[in-house]
Structure 1
């Protein structure tokens, strides 16, 4: 059919009254199976939707309920209180106080008047600029401040600012403050231990948080409480070995000494001879654990347990004890230490004075380097190394305290003669003050050494024999002579009590060389000598002034500490001597 004929047909159809849709021109032949297929697909789809709707709403409702709850129901964590830390007598050293975290939905809070926001900033103790920075509209939810005191939270809630949310939490409080902080430690804003016993016993102290289900509105407010989901469980309490009274005495003694001798720092430790318990451990400078906003590294350092130093003359009794134990010498063995110096492989070793001829007891009393070196030269190096090892020098400490250092003792095979000679009087090896104090346990006890504990001990531990009771008694006699008018520790005397000990002074290493101006003075002692109760060790770091040796700075500090500690512990006096004689020019130990 031509184009002209089609046009003519259309006009004819129109003139005869045929509908436009019936026009032969528009007639299209479609197979019947196609329309039926489309109808079947549509029917199947609607049937599937119907079955799915019936399943979700009639047979299985859990999915929709879960999705619905996710829109409005929340699980709120309930914090658990951390366990208390107490001293041996039950006095609280650390406890948890209820506080709240203040958070916000920024978009809602920013709608409030400027006056309310200014008052909010004041109650949160933060500048207005900082508050506006935290209220970033791009953020959905933000913490404004953690661990806010309850009285401030109540005032914030009275402002009735839409979009402010508060959540319960706990804040650690330390009643003893700076006195106990290096022992107890502290926690962070998440209530996790960061230092001291808070860190070491984190697992036992921390509680198990609970939770409850609630319905929150769009502003984060709890609209309905749906009940407890899991009960919180508080952490376990911890009882330490420390005695708060002795701790305060030790801290005060160290603080006064650092200030008196214009020293850089100081530390002290008091050990129970019978149980190995750490009764006091003080450091200065220190810090307030309740306000650490200005905390410095020098304040944070626990010098008693983490710092190491050359023990100097305090190690001389160890050298002598080994000589006595192996029967190479006796307390009455005589040594000529004149003319005040000696040469070892071309290196000079000297005493502060020419002490002439001295017994072993006299060598300890006058702290003669030459005498101790001559004793050490009678002992094989391996035996000396084994002695150091038994005492824990250079060994990984097991004190139950974080950060405890092992010190340094090189293998004996690498010792040259001059190095071995230096070790005999405390140079060329390093220890911590706590390690040094523990090693004196063999003299305070019957020659055995026991583990130390920062927790209260109910039963006396089993010791490891290092020297015989006979040797221990012989060395105690020598140590008591040191704390007398003729010894280097005359300033360590305590009226009414027999005290023994040994002073030490070591030059600090600066830029790889021994400094002539920087040194550490220390004293390790036992009291009372008739029936030892305490081992007391004191360290004064870098005193500035005319008094710089251990006998001048550490010994009087130890005497003050011991006098007050013995009385506080109700230890009966064991001496009738009440008039202390201190010579005008006390004997100084050799460096």
Structure 2
């Protein structure tokens, strides 16, 4: 007997429901896929997903702005930006066995084996810089090699055609093209421009796949025209360098000012450096070479101050231009300190005081002047204050205030000690003498119009002092070597002892000469400072004087300043050897 089997029956409505559900699943899946990839108005549809992808793969990249050009007053470039290409690689994508790999290494100026080793060593990276300043022409050759994993980006590299001649004025930029020294730093906000940006598509490794277009164009920086004349700058630099080497000096500076405008026509310093090759210099060499000593280094100006001591005495009616000063017996004692002249000059005029650079005569005038009046005159011509030329780190120097009882300090001030000034400050003070008592602002930028300036000293008194200063370069003066043929020079030498921690050093000096030319109708002021000469000579007239004459004579010819000779008593030494022991001193 067979067992009884019960059959399982499914109701029609249940079957229909199950079949409908199974059929609905693929339809729902298709609908969801369509919503993700086709339909734009579906919540979190394809536009949403594409946006998410773009957030990860689409990036903004900066477009560098062209940095403004710095030129001299005649348009000669002193700092320009050249386009370069930054070449990078994704080490994982570069095929080192590519048939063009050797050409890649050659265009990058790299050894093929070293390049392979470098790529292998950095295989964990997605970005490796191979060259930061490749020439665009070579970059195009690399692009033509079609080696995967090699990427390029446009940039700019700063180049300085003036080299070491203008390095301390122009300054330098860093690797990010930002000003670090000099004009590049002071006017970085003008030169830098405004970077732009563009969109690029990158893969998950960060490599650029495609440029998607520029969002904002870069705005180039503005150009700057300096007051410097490269014809004069070259002469000033070469003469200064030769003098520093010849005299075995530590450093030196030369400044040439245009009296009419207050523009700096030349500013040279030693030591210097070539900013285009600064990578080869040690940090110490770079620091020494980059220092603009004409603006930053302070010295006791010595006897170059004596014209202002005479001016203060005339202004305060302590003496007249016709009176004489008794310098007997050739020295003066202030407290325990004895200060001497080169020799006993006896009774001398103010003209001879400046011509012979008498310490005794200047001290007697200085002691007779109220210290407040002396400080006031020195301050009015610019000592003890920042010139304001717009150069980073500019210093003010030191102009002390002395009580009437401080006779030794007042005596020192009268001959250019117990105060400090830069070469630029000395030049500005002499520009007041040259411009008839008008103090004008000085500038390193070319001007379109001449500033008026402010009157700080009586014009007649200044003219008298300027005439007295003409004796320094004439026969018997302290600066015969600073004479310029066919021009009258109103100048003054200075030779100051160097000051150290233990006091003044007997055999270390700063040699100076400051001059105005033409003396009758001034156009130029030139200041020369040679710091710490060790080759034998140290007097300002012998060390700084020849530099002044050579540099200024060149400037007068370039500017076509008409010559004038008022008499034949000028010191024009031609083929004549002078015994140094017979020349006048000016300490």
Instruction: Determine which of 531, 539, 550 is the counterpart of 2:540.
Output: 550
Bigger-Rg structure (1/2): 1
1:255 aligns with 2:241: yes
Greater shift, 289-298 or 398-407, is seen at: 289-298
Match of 1:520 in 2: 510
In the alignment, what sits opposite 1:200? 186
Instruction: Specify whether residues 410 and 16 from structure 1 end up closer, same or farther in structure 2 by C-alpha distance, changes over 3 A only.
Output: farther
Match of 1:504 in 2: 494
The verdict on how the C-alpha distance between 1:126 and 1:379 changes in structure 2, with shifts beyond 3 A counting, is farther
Aligned counterparts, 1:451-490, within 5 A: 451-490=441-480
Among 59, 69, 80, which residue is 2:54 paired with? 69
SS at match of 2:280: coil
Q: Does 1:588 align with 2:584?
A: yes
Distance verdict in 2 for CA 1:287–1:151, change over 3 Å: farther
Specify the SS of the correspondent of 2:233.
helix
TM-score, normalised by the number of residues in structure 2: 0.86
- Give how far 1:57 is off: 5.4
CA deviations on 1:225-269 (whole Å, 9 max, x unpaired) are 322210111111111111111111211211221222222222100
Is the 2:475–2:571 contact (alpha carbons within 8 Å) kept by the matching residues of 1? no
Deviation readout 1:401-459 (Å, 9 max, x if unpaired)? 11211112233349822111111111111110011010001210111211101111122
Confirm whether residue 150 of structure 1 aligns to residue 150 of structure 2: no
What is the alpha-carbon distance in structure 1 between the residues aligned to residue 458 and residue 270 of structure 2? Answer: 37
Offset at residue 531 of structure 1 (A): 1.2
**CA distances 1:28-80 after superposition (whole Å, capped 9, x unpaired):** xxxxxxxxxxxxxxxxxx9xx98xx7998525766433212123323232211
Offset, 1:529: 1.3
Partner Cα separation in structure 2 for residue 360 and residue 395 of structure 1: 28
Q: Is the 8 A contact 2:510 2:533 kept in 1?
A: yes
Report the equivalent of 1:245: 231
Sort the Cα spacing of 1:122 and 1:420 in 2 relative to 1 into closer, same or farther, 3 A.
farther
- Of 410-419 and 554-563, more deviation after overlay is shown by 410-419
Query: 1:343 matched to which residue of 2?
Result: 333
1:105 alignment partner in structure 2: 90
Deviation of 1:287 after TM superposition, in Å, equals 1.2
Corresponding residue for residue 422 of structure 1: 412
The 5-angstrom pairing of residues 280-359 of structure 1 reads 280-295=266-281, 296=285, 297-359=287-349
Cα distance in 2 for residues equivalent to 1:428 and 1:289:
37
Partners of 1:520 and 1:540 within 8 A in 2: yes
Q: Which moved more, 1:554-563 or 1:413-422?
A: 413-422
- CA 270–163 in structure 1, closer or farther in 2 if over 3 Å, else same: same
Q: Unmatched 5+ residue regions in structure 1?
A: 1-14, 19-45
Deviates more, 1:363-372 or 1:224-233: 224-233
Q: Which residue of 1 is the match for residue 64 of structure 2?
A: 79
CA distance in 1 between counterparts of 2:109 and 2:373 reads 64
**Which of 148, 158, 165 is equivalent to 1:179?**
165
Mark the CA change 1:285 to 1:138 in structure 2 (over 3 Å): closer, same or farther: same
Please name the residue that 1:374 is paired with.
364
Alignment partners' CA distance in 2, 1:16 and 1:537: 131
Deviates more, 1:497-506 or 1:457-466: 457-466
Compared with structure 1, are the counterparts of its residues 547 and 535 closer, same or farther at alpha carbon in structure 2 (3 Å cutoff)? same
CA contact (8 A) 2:126 2:205 kept: no
Cα distance, 1:500–1:204 mapped onto 2, change above 3 Å: same
Structure 2 match to 1:10? none
Distance (Å, rounded) in 2 between the aligned partners of 1:216 and 1:355: 86
Tell me, in whole angstroms, the C-alpha distance in 1 between the residues paired with 2:150 and 2:142: 9
Q: Which residue of 1 aligns with 2:42?
A: 58
Task: Find the residue that maps to 1:480 and give its secondary structure.
Answer: helix
| Aligned partner of 1:96 among 58, 70, 81 | 81
Cα distance in structure 1, aligned partners of 2:99 and 2:273: 37
**TM-score if structure 1 supplies the norm length?**
0.86
Task: Give 1:300 deviation, angstroms.
Answer: 1.4
Instruction: Tell me if the contact between 2:387 and 2:442 (Cα under 8 Å) persists in the aligned partners.
Output: no
Measure how far apart 1:166 and its partner are.
Answer: 1.4
- RMSD of the TM alignment (CA)? 3.0
CA deviation string 1:345-390 (max 9, x = no partner): 2211111211111112211111111111100111111122222222
Shift in Å, 1:136: 2.4
* Distance in 2 of aligned mates of 1:412 and 1:117: 76
Counterpart of 2:521 (choices 523, 527, 531) is 531
Task: Tell me the equivalent position of 2:13.
Answer: none
Report the CA distance between 1:140 and its aligned residue: 2.8
By how many angstroms is 1:557 displaced? 0.6
Q: Aligned-pair distance for 1:530?
A: 2.1
SS in 1 for 2:461: helix
